[in-house]
Structure 1
Amino acid sequence: MSMTAYDTNSSVKDRAILVSLVSTVQKRSEAMAEYSLAELVSLAETAGVQVLETMRQNKDTPDARWLIGKGKVEELKARLDELGANTAIFDQELSGAQVRNLEEALDVKIIDRTQLILDIFAQRAKTREGIIQVELAQLSYLLPRLSGHGKNLSRLGGGIGTRGPGETKLETDRRHIRGRITDLKAALSEVVRHRVLHRERRKKTGVFQVALVGYTNAGKSTLLKRLTDADVYVENQLFATLDPTSRTMELPSGKEIVLTDTVGFIQNLPHDLIAAFRATLEEANEADLILHVVDSSSDMRSEQMRVVDEVLEELGASGKERLTVFNKIDLIPDSERVDLLTTGGDFIRINAYSDTDLERLRNAIQEKLMGDSKTFRVPADKGDVISLVYRIGDVVSNEVDGDEMRFEVRVNKDDYAKLGYLLAAYDEAKQGDQHRGES
């Protein structure tokens, strides 16, 4: 068991001791356990909680009644009373029965990691879509656990783990909550329908879509702001932004693309949350290019990258064209950069606040999006096709050749096929007109 104390001089309403169980039979490194608990501290502070102390227990298997052992529960009770804490936050997900048993034994509010993350998302959600998704995730999580929230129901009214659905919704019966979930899913389906329409409209215009993904606090929003002058909230905290933001960005060639910032990932991201935010995260699945932003200064960089890879695989986006962006390179000593940042695949190392690095990134994005040079011949009177050539590709040169325009265009293979299909359709229509004229 290990214990870490924190400053207790604060008027913050929620005063908590954080608890973590480390299984001695699971293959989880000591460093990972410490990192997970440190991350829980950051999550709690992000939610506005005053962290008084952290406790950790090494145990072969979780206790079915309290998660931690009976002796550890008694020790936790003594520390809660001694420090005047009113909340216990657990790093693992708790069952309804465990919540009820811990409430009875400790007489404080019991919150687990999942509830804490859901609460932070509830604080951050600003758009109608985000608010619907958070409430849906919270209710989906709470529904099977209502029997475990005995005393917690009397403690509601703004505390952590309760924002979003709120007091009145949690006190209603399961049938009412199921009805609310059904309504939320219907509302979310409508939002998703509109999002799909916008996405299809963007595709038809031939505009490239690039998605920023990465672990929370890796610097995605900072990159979006710096690359597009977007008016987005940037702060050094977990989940500083939640709702997806799309802005146009100009490549060095002058071609415009759409850059979208997605919600940050985190280890043990609640499954209900992944399900609720699937429509948002699918921006990555629909993108022509994924920019995987990594906090290169983090000691747990490899683990964070693994988490992002797992979520992308779950979304079906693991095979997408990708460029790994090692951000915050300025925080790593020069002597350590080569050893620390070796990786497979395409990557670039940058400082988001360096104009030179941002220009290198723009060129790297352009190189990934735009393929080899191809030659197209377009009837000179087909202005709509000529316009599409300029929108989809990077026109290197053009010249008039009789009644046709000849273009040399840098374009990726997907858009090359799209242009080829359109030109073939025009040729077929032209030949049909000639045959009708001859007959």
Structure 2
Amino acid sequence: MTERHHILSDNAAALSDDAYDSDGFLIEEDGDDTSRPRLYDGDQLEREERAALRRVAGLSTELEDVTEVEYRQLRLERVVLASVWSEGTLEDAENSLRELAALAETAGALVLEGVVQRRQKPDTATYLGKGKAEELRDIVIAEGADTVICDTELAPSQRRALEDVVKVKVIDRTALILDIFAQHAKSREGKAQVELAQLQYLLPRLRGWGESMSRQAGGQAAGGQGMGSRGPGETKIELDRRRINSRIAKLRRDISGMKTHRETKRGSRRANAIPSVAIAGYTNAGKSSLLNRLTGAGVLVQNQLFATLDPTVRRSETPEGREFTLADTVGFVRQLPHQLVEAFRSTLEEVADSDLLLHVVDGSHPDPEGQISAVRAVLADVDAADVKEVIVVNKADIADPEVLDRIRRHEKHSIAVSARTGEGIEELRQLIAEELPQPDIDVDVLVPYDRGDLVSRLHEEGEVLASEHVGNGTRVTAKVNADLAAELAAYRA
């Protein structure tokens, strides 16, 4: 399709084209090379900017093959995206809308158009403002869309008011992400976590529909209930709220039980003194591909946002033979719904309890630094900000070399790799070995031959400096952790 990038208002002007004189006046160039000053208030946006509704080019995922279009139109929602640009640059606003388009496509939608309005803040009533909402309605009619997706979390009143104007279903970014999680959750814990997040999102958004939402009985005229049912009954919306609260309470109990099971597994690994490494990062940055490359785990890999939600833990070894666990976690995204962060807290604790964090970044993304900031914000919410971190810039085979150099300059502990080609993987293995906690207690022991298990643990968990077989057993000099040193105390040479 031909890309479109125009502004609905004929008078709109880009910010980059504006010039100001020394007195703070905005100078506007006329066609006859004369200029006239317009007073510019630094706290206000220009009227033309406020009136502009920008079309963002390149968002449409509609197919050109007519045969495929007919098939997809039967099964996909046709959506128009809408966003308010209130801070940052236009490039930031368009990148956010492109990410929303990718999310919509992942959820199974056909993106037809995307628009951005320049405002200081979203309209409290209709998000875009009443006039722009009416223009959005015209776009929806022209494109034949059946859904509008807004690039933020809408208040319940905003969603209802915008629906009343555009006359089609309106959802927000949070609802879209929750829908994707609901589609991709496979494990019992993942499904429970997603359902909990959805119910927490739904609870404040219930609304009544007049008499159809009422179950207050009032005699035979009111539903034919008759005697014994008169009086102040329970409205339908109250019943829904009560049922949702009961379901939320049950899900919290279930997830708490699953959390205990997960903590038991982590406790077992800690008891065996096995270091843990967690992989975290932005969605679609290549975390599962990296896990497969390092461990051969065979985890699902797909070029799709939130392709995998359920964490995977695998064993691996450093080049020196030390064992450690490698855990893949759920991906993050800008404006990740707080309901999901809370619901997935038990899963994200894999990161908080790890000894080392591999923070995977997509080096080919238009804004990799923005990805890093978004992930770190979520990690701070789950008390994982203090974990030792290594920035792993993935997709180095297709990334701009200047971007890779810029990230490596800004991030002290960073490495560029390609999970697809294997570039930099061996260097990453060596870096993991160097950053893992090292045994620091010197021991010199004579282990009897009937305690071969201790010799094996010395090689697995410690750093063996010297080993010699003598008449009474095996003489070993090594560096070990505190737990193993306590067990070896009886065999000091």
State TM-score, norm by structure 2.
Answer: 0.76
Closer, same or farther: CA 306–253 of 1 in aligned 2, 3 Å: same
Q: Deviation per CA, 1:381-423, whole angstroms, max 9, x where unpaired?
A: 4655544433322334323578685544456xxxx34444555
Say which of 267, 278, 300 aligns to 2:334: 267
Cα distance, 1:172 vs structure 2: 6.1
Matched-pair contact (CA < 8 Å) for 1:18–1:88: yes
Give the percent of matched residue pairs that are identical in Structure 1 and Structure 2. 44
Instruction: Tell me the equivalent position of 1:29.
Output: 89
How far did residue 127 of structure 1 move?
Answer: 0.3
- Counterpart in the other structure of 2:189: 129
Instruction: Please state if 1:145 is matched with 2:205.
Output: yes
Q: Structure 2 vs 1, CA of residues 176 and 339 (structure 1 numbering), >3 Å: closer, same or farther?
A: closer
Contact kept in structure 2, 1:375 and 1:407, CA below 8 Å:
no
CA 1:292/1:103 → structure 2, altered by over 3 Å: closer, same or farther?
same
CA offset digits 1:199-231 (Å, max 9, x no partner): 101111121211001111111000111111112
Aligned position for 1:391: 460
Quote the Cα distance in structure 2 between the aligned partners of 1:48 and 1:192.
32
In the alignment, structure 1 residue 14 sits paired with structure 2 residue 67:
no
Residues 171, 43 of structure 1: alpha-carbon distance in 2 compared, 3 angstrom cutoff: farther
Q: Does 1:226 align with 2:278?
A: no
1:320 positional shift: 1.2
| Structure ranking higher in helix proportion | 1
Q: Conserved in 1, the CA contact under 8 Å of 2:364 and 2:400?
A: no
The residue that corresponds to 1:173 in the other structure is 240
For 1:129, the aligned partner's letter is E
Larger mean Cα displacement after TM superposition, 77-86 or 39-48: 77-86
Asked whether the 8 Å contact 1:217–1:239 carries over to 2, the reply is yes
The two structures, once aligned, show a CA RMSD in angstroms of: 2.7
TM-score, length-normalised on structure 1? 0.85
**1:374, distance to aligned residue in structure 2 (A):** 5.2
Q: Is the 8 A contact 1:325 1:350 kept in 2?
A: yes
Q: Structure 2 residue aligned with 1:42, among 102, 113, 116?
A: 102
Match of 1:116 among 176, 181, 187: 176
Specify every segment of 5 or more residues in structure 2 that has no aligned partner in the other structure, as ranges: 1-52, 64-68, 214-235
Distance 2:288 2:114 in 1: 31
Q: How does 1:243-262 map to 2 (within 5 A)?
A: 243-262=310-329
**Do the aligned residues in 2 keep the contact of 1:21 with 1:68 (CA within 8 Å)?**
yes
Tell me how far 1:264 sits from its aligned partner.
0.7
Paired residue for 1:211? 278
Taking a change above 3 Å as real, the CA distance of residues 407 and 108 of structure 1, as seen in their structure-2 partners, is: farther
Deviation at 1:330, TM superposition (A): 1.3
Q: State the distance in 1 between where 2:374 and 2:433 align.
A: 27
- After superposition, the Cα gap between the structure-2 partners of 1:170 and 1:376, relative to the gap in structure 1 and judged at 3 Å, is farther
If you compute each CA radius of gyration, which structure gives the higher value, 1 or 2?
A: 2
Q: How many residues align?
A: 403
Over 3 Å counting, the alpha-carbon distance change for 1:354 and 1:149 in structure 2 is: farther
Aligned counterparts of 1:46 and 1:172: Cα–Cα separation in 2: 34
Q: Cα deviation per residue 1:360-387 (whole Å; 9 max; x = unaligned)?
A: 2111111111537753134524655544
The 5 A counterparts of 1:16-415 are 16-23=79-86, 26=87, 28-147=88-207, 173-334=240-401, 337-355=404-422, 357-369=424-436, 371=438, 375-378=442-445, 380-381=447-448, 385-399=454-468, 406-409=475-478
Secondary structure of the corresponding residue to residue 129 of structure 1: helix
- Return closer, same or farther for 1:236/1:396 CA change in 2, 3 Å cut-off: farther
C-alpha separation between the residues in 2 aligned to 1:148 and 1:33?
35
What is the alpha-carbon distance in structure 2 between the residues aligned to residue 350 and residue 421 of structure 1? 40
CA distance in 1, matches of 2:141, 2:405: 50
Higher relative contact order (CA closer than 8 Å, sequence separation 6+) = 1
